[in-house]
Amino acid sequence: QVQLMESGGGSVQAGGSLRLSCAASGHTYSMTCMGWFRQFPGKKREGVATISTRGDNPYIADSVKGRFTISQDNAKSAVYLEMNNLQPGDTAWYYCAARLFVRDCGRDDDGSGYANWGLGTQVTVSS
């Protein structure tokens, strides 16, 4: 099992930036992919970005492409989400997730390929 803990959420004005961090612990050697997902109030969870634990094959959803960047630090078992030019439409709970053993990173629209989840961090963007 892998435990994940997000940090870095908060409230910003439109056009601002935030950097989310996710630290993994436990059987991190088994992680193959890490990702960020978000959930709007009353909506289903959606994929934001994923990356291989080797740092390759990053995927960014079209809705945030050009504004968000995902990166990882294998030595720290961590993944980050740099969010720039935030808009009110980005207001959501953001969750970190990890996939184990299966190295098939890339697009995941709803996180169904991920079994390990953090508790989330809230991002609020005001206009």
pLDDT tens per residue across span 99-111: 999 888 989 999 9
What does the pLDDT read at residue 52? 95
Task: For tokens 């959803």, name the residue.
Answer: 61
| Residue 19 pLDDT greater than 90, yes or no | yes
Query: Percentage of residues in the chain with pLDDT exceeding 70?
Result: 100
Query: Percentage of residues in the chain with pLDDT exceeding 90?
Result: 92
Three-state SS letters, the chain = CEEEEEECCEEEECCCCEEEEEEEEECHHHEEEEEEEEECCCCCEEEEEEEECCCCCCEECCCCCCCEEEEEEHHHCEEEEEECCCCHHHCEEEEEEEEECCCCCCCCCCCCCCCEECCCEEEEEEC
Query: What are the pLDDT digits (tens) for 37-77?
Result: 999 989 999 999 999 999 888 999 999 999 999 999 999 99
